[in-house]
Structure 1
Amino acid sequence: MNDTLNTTQLGKQTPLPQSPDEAQLDYVPNPRSGTTYLVRFAAPEFTSLCPVTGQPDFAHLVIDYAPAQTIVESKSLKLFLGSFRNHNGFHEDVTVGIGQRLVDEMQPQWLRIGGYWYPRGGIPIDVFWQSGPPPEGLWVPDQGVPGYRGRG
C-alpha cells in the first residue's frame, strides 16, 4: 500500500528521528477532496526540552485542520512529534513551529494548533496558533482540553 501512496515510513520499521529538522512528514491524497471537513490529532503526552535548563516539558497538543489536496499520514506525524523529545525550544516556538510546518508543507484549507503545556515554575502556558479564519461551514468543535486543574 505504501508504494502506491508514495510514503517513506508507512508499513516500514522507522526509527524515531533525532530532531524535528530530520523528521520527514508524509502526505497522501485527500480521499474526500472537494469536501470541507475537520481532522483532529491529539497528542496528550507530547514532550520537548526547556532550552535553558534542558529539563523535559510536557504538553497536550491538539491539531485541527481542514484538508485541501492532501492529508498528513499519521505515522509520520507521530514520528515528527516524537522527535521533539530531544529538541530544545520554548513552548511558543515549538507549538507555532509545528503548525507552520504542517501548513507550509501540506497547504490545508485551514489549520489550528493548541499547545496546552503543563506547569513550569508553577505556571501553565497555553499557546494557540491558526493559519487564518476557518472555511465557511466548517464545524470547529472546542478542543476539549480544560484549563489547568491537573490537566486531567
Structure 2
Amino acid sequence: MTEHDIYSGLTQLGTKTDLPNSPQDAVLEKVPNPQAGTDYAVRFTAPEFTSLCPLTGQPDFAHIVIDYVPGDYLVESKSLKLFLGSFRNHGAFHEDCTVSIGKRLQELLNPKWLRVGGYWFPRGGIPIDVFYQTGAALPGVFIPDQGVPTYRGRG
C-alpha cells in the first residue's frame, strides 16, 4: 500500500476547509490502516471542545478523549478536528454530544474497540462525565487511563 493509495479520495486534507455548520453536515473521512492486522491503540484528545446548551444557548465546555483500536481504517485527523469543531454551534446535552461522537466514529471505522470520554465542565454547578464504549478492551493492547481527573473546582 503506497502513501498515494492511502490518501487518494480525501476531500479535506491539504485544502482550505470551512468549519461545518453542524455535526450532521461534517464529513468524517477514513484512510486504510497501513498496520492492519496489528492491534494497537490510537488516542485523540480535544481539551477545548465546545457545544451549546440546547435550552439556553449558553456555551458548554468539555475535555473529550477518544481511544480506539483500529481495524481496517483510521480516522483522518483533519476531518475529525472539523467534526468536533462542528459542535461549536450545535445545541445538545452533554450525553448526546459524547455518545453521538462515539456512534459516528463506530459507524465510520468499525474499529476493534472504541471508547469516548466526555469530561464536561460544570453546568448549574454540577460537572457531568459521559462515557461511550463498544465493549471490553482487547487483551494485549495497552489502553492507558484517559488521565482526566474528576472535576475539583478551584482546588
Which bracket does the TM-score occupy, shorter chain normalised? over 0.9
Q: Distance in 1 between matches of 2:118 and 2:75?
A: 19
From 83, 93, 115, the equivalent of 1:112 is 115
Q: Distance in 2 between matches of 1:50 and 1:9?
A: 29
Q: Distance in 1 between matches of 2:77 and 2:21?
A: 18
Q: Distance in 1 between matches of 2:154 and 2:32?
A: 35
Partner of 1:83: 86
Partner of 1:61: 64
Q: Say yes or no: does 1:10 pair with 2:24.
A: no
Partner of 1:44: 47
Change (3 A) 1:132 1:4: closer
Unaligned runs of 5+ in 2: none
Q: Distance in 2 between matches of 1:45 and 1:86?
A: 14
Change (3 A) 1:84 1:49: same
1:118-141 deviations in Å (ceiling 9; x for gaps): 000110000011011112211110
SS of aligned partner of 1:79: helix
- Choose between structure 1 and 2: higher strand proportion: 1
Query: Deviation above 3 Å: which 4+ runs of structure 1?
Result: 1-4
1:5-58 deviations in Å (ceiling 9; x for gaps): 121100000000000000000100101110000000000000000011010000
**TM-score normalised by the chain length of structure 1:** 0.95
* Corresponding letter in the other structure for 1:108: P
Q: Distance in 2 between matches of 1:139 and 1:21?
A: 33
Question: Which 10-residue stretch deviates more, 10-19 or 126-135?
Answer: 126-135
Q: Identity across aligned pairs (percent)?
A: 67
Question: Which 10-residue stretch deviates more, 104-113 or 129-138?
Answer: 129-138
From 91, 98, 101, the equivalent of 1:98 is 101
CA RMSD between the two structures? 1.6
Q: Distance in 2 between matches of 1:53 and 1:43?
A: 24
Partner of 1:31: 34
Q: Is the 8 A contact 1:2 1:8 kept in 2?
A: no
Change (3 A) 1:33 1:147: same
Q: Is the 8 A contact 2:6 2:32 kept in 1?
A: no
Q: Is the 8 A contact 1:2 1:10 kept in 2?
A: no
